[in-house]
């Protein structure tokens, strides 16, 4: 395939999907990692897409419909696993925690090692990931109006129950963080996440590094009102310093900070 054809194919793929990884492009086009990275650099220099660590995104990504849940699971999984491991190290014995929606938070179940905690969630996929823990932990799924796109229960029924609860800590996933604005794609889901944060003694945002400097439709919370932003260890120093102006940026396990 000629370079011109590759560039057109890459651009079509990223505009259709919003986000495409380098590995996906290698598999699709049958060329080397180096060739893909050169092509992405050329397209970025032509202002036709935005390069990210491990892939690229379309210029109109934030205006697109939200990716389906299964599509999100395949994007940046390694980074999400690291963030989930760091976040769960902040859960302590006997905590009552709220887990929001999102594919990163689904990975929490892999890393819990407490004898007992109480877990509340409005996410069906998160609840399903915890099903083999229900004999050990107190796991509560909030009902309400079901959003198929993210597997979340939202709306007045969800919120009326949620507002009566209090949590040691809330862990909330997001679609984007840009300066002080924490955002997602849906106002109802954002309102539920906002309430879950307000009901917690400690408030944590869980986001892989690709969510930083990105915005989505609905800004539901201020980063400056959050106790900690949990993200990847390889976050660029400049970005780390920027977001440290709003909150504590956490990219290592809690257990390494206590003796």
Domain CATH for 31 = 1.10.10.10
Per-residue pLDDT of the chain (259 residues; tens, 9 = 90+): 789 899 999 999 988 877 788 888 998 899 999 999 999 999 988 888 878 767 888 876 654 455 555 555 556 788 999 999 999 999 999 999 999 999 999 999 889 999 999 999 999 999 999 988 888 899 999 999 999 989 999 999 999 999 999 999 999 999 999 899 999 989 999 999 999 999 999 999 999 998 898 878 889 999 999 999 999 999 888 889 999 999 999 998 765 444 3
Same domain membership, residue 198 and residue 93: yes
Residue 37 structural domain: 3-64
Same domain membership, residue 47 and residue 160: no
Within a 10 A sphere around the Cβ of 194, how many other Cβ atoms? Answer: 16
Domain count, the chain: 2
Name every residue whose Cβ is closer than 8 Å to that of residue 25 and which is 6 or more positions away in sequence: 10, 13, 36, 55
Query: What pLDDT is recorded for position 63?
Result: 46
Cβ proximity of 99 and 120 under 8 Å = yes
Query: What pLDDT is recorded for position 255?
Result: 53
Query: What pLDDT is recorded for position 46?
Result: 86
Going through 179-225 in order, the beta strands assigned E by DSSP cover 181-184, 200-206, 218-222
What contacts 24+ positions apart, CB below 8 Å, involve 238-243? 239/209, 239/212, 239/213, 243/177, 243/212
Q: Which residues of 11-28 are buried (b: 16+ CB within 10 A; e: fewer)?
A: bebbbebbbbbbebbeee
Same domain membership, residue 76 and residue 59: no
Same domain membership, residue 235 and residue 140: yes
Q: Dihedral of CA 3/13/218/200: which sign?
A: negative
> pTM for this structure?
0.74
Identify any residues that bridge with 153 across adjacent strands, giving them in sequence order.
146
Q: Which of 64, 81, 105 is the last residue of a domain?
A: 64
Same domain membership, residue 224 and residue 140: yes
Same domain membership, residue 200 and residue 138: yes
Q: Which of 29, 44, 64 is the last residue of a domain?
A: 64
Same domain membership, residue 182 and residue 89: yes
Query: What pLDDT is recorded for position 256?
Result: 46
Same domain membership, residue 97 and residue 202: yes
What is the C-alpha to C-alpha distance for residues 95 and 166, in angstroms, rounded to an integer? 11
Same domain membership, residue 87 and residue 20: no
Same domain membership, residue 96 and residue 40: no
Q: Which of 13, 40, 64 is the last residue of a domain?
A: 64
């Amino acid at each position: 395939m000629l370079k011109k054809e590759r560039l057109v194919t890459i651009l079509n793929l990223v505009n259709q999907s919003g986000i495409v990884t380098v590995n996906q492009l290698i598999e699709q086009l049958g060329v080397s990692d180096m060739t893909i990275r050169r092509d992405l650099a050329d397209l970025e220099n032509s202002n036709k897409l935005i390069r990210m660590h491990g892939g690229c995104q379309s210029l109109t990504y934030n205006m697109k419909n939200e990716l389906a849940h299964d599509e999100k699971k395949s994007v940046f999984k390694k980074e999400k696993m690291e963030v989930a491991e760091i976040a769960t190290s902040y859960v302590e014995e006997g905590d009552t925690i709220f887990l929001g929606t999102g594919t990163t938070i689904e990975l929490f179940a892999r890393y819990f090692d407490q004898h007992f905690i109480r877990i509340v969630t409005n996410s069906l996929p998160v609840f399903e990931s915890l099903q083999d823990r229900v004999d050990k932990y107190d796991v509560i799924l909030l009902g309400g109006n079901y959003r198929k796109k993210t597997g979340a229960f939202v709306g007045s029924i969800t919120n009326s129950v949620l507002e009566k609860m209090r949590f040691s800590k809330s862990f909330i996933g997001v679609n984007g963080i840009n300066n002080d604005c924490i955002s997602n794609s849906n106002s109802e889901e954002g309102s539920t996440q906002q309430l879950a944060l307000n009901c917690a003694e400690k408030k944590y945002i869980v986001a892989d590094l690709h969510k930083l400097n990105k915005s989505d439709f609905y800004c539901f919370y201020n980063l400056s009102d959050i106790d900690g932003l949990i993200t990847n260890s390889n976050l660029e120093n400049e970005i780390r310093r920027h977001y440290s102006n709003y909150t504590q940026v956490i990219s290592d396990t809690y257990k390494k900070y206590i003796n």
